[in-house]
A and B are shown apart, each in its own frame.
Chain A
Amino acid sequence: MEWETVIGLEVHVSLSTKSKLFSGSSTKFGAQPNTQASIFDCALPGTLPVLNEEALRMAVRFGVAIGAEIGKRSVFDRKNYFYPDLPKGYQVTQLDFPTVGKGSLTVTLADGSEKVIGVTRAHIEENAGKSLHEEFSGMSGIDLNRAGEPLLEIVSEPEITCAEEAVAYLKKLHTIIRYLDISDAIMAQGSMRCDVNVSIRPKGTTELGTRAEIKNINSFRFVEKAIHSEVARQQEILEDGGRIIQETRRYNADKDVTTSMRSKEVANDYRYFPEPDLLPVVIDDEYIAAVRAQLPELPNARKARFIEEYSLSNYDAGVLVSSREMAEYFEIVARSSGDSKLAANWVSQDLLGMLNKNNWDITESPIQAERLATLIARIKDNTISGKIAKTVFETMISDKSAVDAIIEAKGLKQVTDSGEIEKLVLEVIENNPIQVQQYKDGKEQVIGFLVGQCMQLSKGKANPAQVNELLREKMQ
């Protein structure tokens, strides 16, 4: 039988507010355990929540950016369950009236086609603390620094049909969140986490199959692999006449399988009810308009502008806007160097290749945008050839001196002196009589070999166009 896959994603993003969702405690990463836990975060009796307006503004910012309906009246609810790292015994979240309602994301797939994926909702909630089970010899430690940090949970419609689309959706979400500057959204650090709901059904049918939820996947690659592995598992079960159990699963990357975490036999009843310590949050059109007015240029708009303003291809523009930092980097290079085409090539190929090879983020690049622009400017003014520029680029990674100083120090300056080039040309003509004769007999393509010889002799420094011209002249 042929199957089709239905995927829905729940993404938790840690909002980068300075203080927690309902208390004034700092949210700084990496502090000593329990040093960022106020009496409210510890759930001392009598303490009460006060909403951090910045978290609300960030959620609205996200909603506006994805064209979502904004909840003019959002309501916080208590989700009740016991766990030692949940000090109040309930998590404050939004159930029926989230701040962000229906919206959508347009993602670009590998074949260049676009697909619109619906976002059901995004709601604000508080994070739990951390339970530490090691290093306490049989006891558990609790760190409440993270307890009460603001999260935005973004829920997609079950409209994703394969792993590739899921990853494209996540990457787009990641890009927008970074553009909006509402979260670091670093999956490896947990500031962006993903739960994947997967089910399969016979191709062409409309009823949803029983789903499994794979919790807390922390990289794009693992999302892709987890989906592949889970789909295969479900297919095998169904084709053997079995039934899928609705349950929570975990992805084991070492073995590339998903395993059951807990069955929902003992289903948790969270007994949601409206949080009486907080009033409903009411926002008006004016507030939404003000947030909208402060939106930065978003990836799609920026891509269109790049195509228009810098005459880039659809593909190049797409690559360059995929992160806000890269887009900004590119614009500096393009403007300072005065050649947007060369800038696009250098940024999307050489620079990106170098960063990927070293596993660096563009913000960690050893070559700043201004330096790369100078390098490109030197190609344009014929100080160096494109080929020599690659050598200079390699040097620039570890050598922080000015681009011109590197070119000078290594003697890489292009030779444009016609006297010197004439010497090279004459030497090559003398050393390669057979090829010269072939050229004279009308074998035009030999010119390439002869230019190559001149370039080799000059260690790449000769201006190839000049060499070409002079060779032809001397062989006439």
Chain B
Amino acid sequence: MINSTVAEISAALAAGDISSVEITQAYLDRIATLNGELNAFITVCEDSALLQAKAADDARANGNDSPLLGIPLAHKDIFCTKDILTTCGSRMLHNFVSPYNATVVERFIDAGTVLLGKTNMDEFAMGSSNETSFFGDVKNPWNTECVPGGSSGGSAAAVAADLCAMATGTDTGGSIRQPAAFCGVTGIKPSYGRVSRWGMIAFASSLDQAGPITKSAEDAALMLNVMSGLDKKDSTSIDRPAEDFTASLNQPLKGLRIGVPKQHFAEGLSMEVEQAVRDALAEYEKLGAVIKEVDLTNSHLSVSAYYVIAPAEASANLSRFDGVRYGYRCEDPVDLEDMYKRTRSEGFGEEVKRRIMVGTYALSAGFYDAYYRKAQKIRRLIADDFDRAFEEVDVIIGPTSPHTAFKLGSKSDPVSMYLEDIYTIAVNLAGLPAASIPVGIANGLPMGMQIIGKYFDEAKILNVAHQFQQHTDWHKQKATAITAASGES
């Protein structure tokens, strides 16, 4: 059952075929077997998970039938969880036990889910390979010599390897979609403002969004139903009427207008990924969709603009990690300045420090106009490109990443790592929703396709993703290497 979708487990729980305690124990056993190799979890909450599972079973006995009741999940370690270690993948917070729950965490508690543990991630969500974590690399379950992608690499690997039924991730420039693509799972970054950021440790406030990582589009819809909605504790959260994202999953795609950005099929895209996405587009045409080329003129500027705006915001967001109130503090500081310098030099990893430096520089007197202000203008231009494109099409489809998962340690140059997110970053700059779903396997590694929607059009994206998954089975392909290693069938 652990390799089933949330929808299937939910049905089995409702039918009494299995209890939450049983399925929870099965996942805990799987974690015990595989986490040593995958390193997907930083913290496993064995005891509390079983208690929550028991409580869910009792609630069901008392007539509670909410769809996610008793479903075991994992949270990316960027979400604050009360009384549970919350590290954000950093030495800086290696000892931080949060006194409060993130809104996302709170909503999953209210929905009756079972928290299995906290997943590994790039430090402060800064990375595209999960190699920047203080808690070590996460391995890709399809090939343990490869990265799982990042920054939500632990969540994507955990879902792919059936260490949990579903997981949360966060996406600032592609951190849900790229690992989803690399691990062969489904992930969606919602519209900016759709999901509360309260309790989600900030990387770049104007770009960060939390979203689901699952085994199907339908599961993503179920998770999004729980995660979304206004939260008065987050001033950027948007007041929209509650939506049931499962409602329109089965709408036929006849007449759907799909935009294909020529800039996403240009130099740098690997042949096998291009072929997989083109095959998927052909599948959509069979379902009645119309394909149209669209022009995202300024998309070549997105990585540059992002690497000004995101580090600028991060440089301020990470100032609170100063050794004064919580988290890491250096040994025996001689004075205040020494404490600041050594705490932050020792507490942060290389990539985080690099981005703090870049962001600090971009905001400095005399450089602000040339970098930060210019980047904000580019951001506007990129959003305008999408607005124009969406006048003619309903969704935009292209590759999530230019290639499949790369080898651990193979990208030592930061800029080549930054270019990993070349197709995903513009979406964050524009605040739009976008999903990644599996569309093929090349050399034993999965490939992802990105579906971008209009602002607040998650339901359409999930409909488009779900219909594809009804007619193909790429999302059902399993990470065979790790499954074989564990002896499971």
Contact = CB atoms under 8 A, between A and B. Distances in A.
B372 interface: yes
Contacts of A273: 312-313, 316, 363, 368, 372
A82 B360 contact: no
Given A45-B86, A90-B316, A50 B233 contact: yes
Interface string B198-241: 11111011100000000000000000000000001111100000
Given A84-B324, A87-B320, A46 B313 contact: no
Interface centre among A46, A49, A50, A90, by most chain B C-beta atoms within 10 angstroms, is: A46
A89 B319 contact: yes
18 contacts: A39-B99, A45-B88, A45-B201, A45-B320, A46-B80, A46-B98, A47-B199, A80-B319, A87-B320, A87-B325, A142-B324, A271-B365, A272-B363, A273-B372, A276-B204, A276-B205, A278-B236, A279-B235
B485 interface: no
Interface string A57-92: 000000000000000000000101010100111100
Which of B204, B320, B336, B368 gathers most chain A CB within 10 Å? B320
Interface in A78-115: 78, 80, 82, 84, 87-90
Given A46-B102, A269-B364, 10 more contacts: A44-B99, A45-B96, A45-B201, A50-B232, A82-B319, A82-B322, A87-B324, A88-B320, A277-B235, A279-B236
B235 A50 contact: yes
B242 to A, nearest CB: 21
Given A269-B364, A279-B235, A89 B320 contact: yes
Interface in A5-64: 39, 42-51
A179 to B, nearest CB: 32
Interface string B62-99: 00000000000000000110000010100001001011
B340 interface: yes
B236 A277 contact: yes
A47 B198 contact: yes
Contacts of A39: 99-100
Contacts of B234: 48
A89 B322 contact: yes
A144 to B, nearest CB: 9
A46 B199 CA distance: 4
Contacts of B99: 39, 44
Contacts of B88: 45
A140 B197 CA distance: 33
Contacts of B79: 46
Given A269-B364, A276-B206, A44 B98 contact: yes
Interface string B357-393: 0001001110010001000000000000000000000
Contacts of B360: 271
A460 B316 CA distance: 76
A237 B380 CA distance: 52
B363 A271 contact: yes
A82 B236 contact: no
B325 A43 contact: yes
Interface residues of A, number: 29
A84 B201 CA distance: 20
A397 to B, nearest CB: 51
B201 A80 contact: no
B198 A45 contact: no
Contacts of A271: 315-316, 360, 363-365, 368
Interface string A268-284: 01011100111100000
A84 B336 contact: yes
A80 to B, nearest CB: 5
Contacts, number: 98
Nearest to A271: B363
B474 to A, nearest CB: 35
A142 B88 CA distance: 26
A82 B343 CA distance: 13
A78 B199 contact: no
B436 to A, nearest CB: 25
A279 B239 CA distance: 14
A78 to B, nearest CB: 5
B428 to A, nearest CB: 13
A80 B316 contact: yes
B234 to A, nearest CB: 5
Interface in B90-144: 93, 96, 98-100, 102
Contacts of B197: 46, 48
Interface in A312-349: none
A269 B366 CA distance: 10
Contact of B201 (A46, A82, A89, A140): A46
A279 B198 CA distance: 15
A139 B341 CA distance: 18
Nearest to B320: A43
Given A87-B324, A88-B320, A273-B363, A44 B100 contact: yes
Contacts of A47: 198-199
Interface string B324-345: 1110000000001000100000
A18 to B, nearest CB: 18
A368 to B, nearest CB: 45
Nearest to B206: A276
Given A39-B99, A89-B322, A45 B236 contact: no
8 closest A-B pairs by CB: A89-B319, A271-B363, A276-B205, A276-B206, A46-B199, A43-B320, A45-B201, A46-B80
B202 A269 contact: no
B316 A78 contact: yes
Given A39-B100, A45-B96, A46-B199, A278 B235 contact: yes
Nearest to A85: B324
Nearest to B88: A45
Nearest to A37: B325
A48 B102 CA distance: 11
Contacts of A80: 315-316, 319, 363
Contacts of A45: 80, 86, 88, 93, 96, 98, 201-202, 320-321
A82 to B, nearest CB: 6
Nearest to A140: B336
Contact of B200 (A44, A46, A88, A279): A46
A82 B235 contact: no
Nearest to B312: A273
Contacts of B198: 46-48
Nearest to B208: A276
Nearest to A267: B365
A42 B205 contact: no
A42 B236 CA distance: 21
Given A84-B336, A90-B316, A269-B364, A48 B233 contact: yes
Contact of B235 (A48, A89, A272): A48
B334 to A, nearest CB: 11
Contacts of B364: 269, 271
A80 B93 CA distance: 22
A43 B322 CA distance: 11
B325 A49 contact: no
Interface centre among A82, A87, A276 (most CB of B within 10 A): A276
A287 B340 CA distance: 45
Nearest to A131: B336
B107 to A, nearest CB: 15
Nearest to B232: A50
A51 B235 CA distance: 8
Contacts of B363: 80, 271-273
Interface string A247-288: 000000000000000000000010111001111000000000
A177 B80 CA distance: 42
Contact of A44 (B313, B326, B336): B326
Contacts of B312: 273
B345 to A, nearest CB: 14
A249 B74 CA distance: 55
A44 B233 CA distance: 14
Nearest to B92: A45
B236 to A, nearest CB: 6
A269 B368 CA distance: 11
